[in-house]
């Protein structure tokens, strides 16, 4: 099915420890159209930490968004200027993460209770840069879980000039649930995000949460401006290739993607990066195919120590799929 994607958007969610520069380089090989996000980076890490480690990226990752965590307008403005200077296409403010660690630092979903402060942050960020400033948020938190509360939050922040909101279609329960449980236990309320778009048609509304298939994506695009895919894009990255059909393009072959990734792997190994830190991001390449388990085993648990190990695992996988294809042809 071809959808008019001119004014639609598909993105891969920011995920701590997962959407690293190595994963993003790999993900870009599946689809040139999707928007990629950094892991969330706190303002303190940028202003006082190893800025190169947190911000460097390969030009091929574009369009790329830096997600910031923070609640100080001055610091967020400064970090937005740094992001723009580094070449990021957008900056996104995290108002969605429910973890205790970020709450302690007044970052993430807890800020949904303070829309005026978020608006102040967004205003300062927008005044500091020319690139777009967007907000990722939940549909509510704790007892502030009604549609009306979310609508008020969006309206207040929109008055500060934000026109693009990414809504995770679950509330966040800030006391008593872990981040993992907050991705699973609160029910998905997609209709709240659809309603938000219907009632605020001038805003760009992107939906996130529990989206794992091409069919899911197509359905949500009927009601919103964009779809953000999270863990499915990490565990089964070929979904990004399958989504190429929405732009009228043919999905690339898995082995072609892998071969395009080889020079990057060799370059990173030459920099001293351990092989396991690279291969952990490509374990899902053959998800749902025969032999996928053997592929994962070959590349995890310290089993892959060299580039040759990766090549050998790929050759075994290629032979396995060829044998299966021959058997299927014989049955026909």
Confidence (pLDDT) at 101: 61
User: Are 121 and 178 contained in the same domain?
Assistant: yes
Residue-range definition of the domain harbouring residue 147 = 5-247
Between CA 89 and CA 129 the distance in angstroms is 11
Decide which of 201, 220, 247 is a domain's last residue: 247
Question: Which stretches of the chain drop beneath a pLDDT of 70?
Answer: 1-2, 100-105, 327-332
Decide which of 229, 247, 265 is a domain's last residue: 247
Q: Would you name the residues annotated as active-site residues?
A: 97
Which pLDDT tens digit goes with each residue over 125-141? Answer: 999 999 999 999 999 99
Confidence (pLDDT) at 75: 98
Confidence (pLDDT) at 175: 83
User: Are 174 and 26 contained in the same domain?
Assistant: yes
Confidence (pLDDT) at 329: 59
Confidence (pLDDT) at 210: 96
Confidence (pLDDT) at 64: 98
**Cβ atoms of residues 139 and 192 within 8 Å:** yes
Please give the biggest Cα pair distance in the chain. 67
Between CA 277 and CA 297 the distance in angstroms is 15
Decide which of 225, 247, 269 is a domain's last residue: 247
Confidence (pLDDT) at 293: 96
User: Are 89 and 233 contained in the same domain?
Assistant: yes
CATH number of the domain residue 62 falls in: 3.20.20.70
User: Are 36 and 131 contained in the same domain?
Assistant: yes
């Amino acid at each position: 099915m071809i959808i008019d994607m001119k004014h639609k958007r598909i993105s891969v969610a920011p995920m701590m420890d997962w959407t690293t520069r190595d994963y993003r380089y790999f993900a870009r090989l599946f689809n040139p159209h999707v928007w990629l996000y950094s892991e969330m980076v706190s303002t303190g890490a940028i202003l006082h930490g190893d800025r190169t480690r947190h911000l460097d990226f390969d030009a091929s990752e574009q369009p790329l968004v830096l997600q910031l965590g923070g609640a100080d307008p001055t610091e967020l403005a400064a970090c937005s200027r740094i992001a723009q200077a580094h070449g990021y296409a957008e900056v996104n403010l995290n108002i969605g993460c429910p973890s205790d660690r970020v709450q302690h630092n007044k970052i993430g979903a807890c800020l949904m209770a303070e829309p005026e402060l978020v608006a102040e942050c967004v205003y300062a960020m927008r005044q500091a840069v020319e690139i777009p400033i967007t907000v990722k948020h939940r549909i509510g938190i704790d007892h502030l879980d009604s549609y009306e509360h979310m609508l008020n939050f969006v309206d207040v922040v929109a008055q500060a000039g934000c026109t693009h909101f990414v809504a995770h279609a679950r509330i966040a329960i800030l006391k008593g649930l872990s981040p993992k449980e907050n991705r699973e236990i609160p029910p998905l309320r997609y209709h709240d995000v659809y309603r938000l778009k219907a009632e605020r048609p001038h805003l760009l509304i992107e939906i996130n949460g529990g989206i794992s298939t091409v069919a899911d994506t197509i359905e949500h695009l009927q009601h919103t401006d964009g779809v953000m895919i999270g863990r499915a894009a990490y565990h089964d990255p070929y979904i990004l290739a399958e989504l190429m059909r929405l732009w009228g393009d043919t999905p690339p072959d898995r082995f072609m993607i892998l071969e395009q990734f080889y020079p990057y792997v060799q370059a990173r190994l030459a920099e001293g990066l351990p092989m396991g830190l690279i291969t952990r991001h490509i374990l899902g390449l053959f998800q749902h195919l025969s032999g996928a388990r053997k592929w994962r085993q070959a590349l995890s648990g310290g089993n892959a120590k060299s580039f040759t190990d990766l090549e050998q695992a790929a050759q075994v996988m290629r032979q396995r799929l060829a044998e299966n294809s021959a058997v299927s042809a014989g049955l026909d």
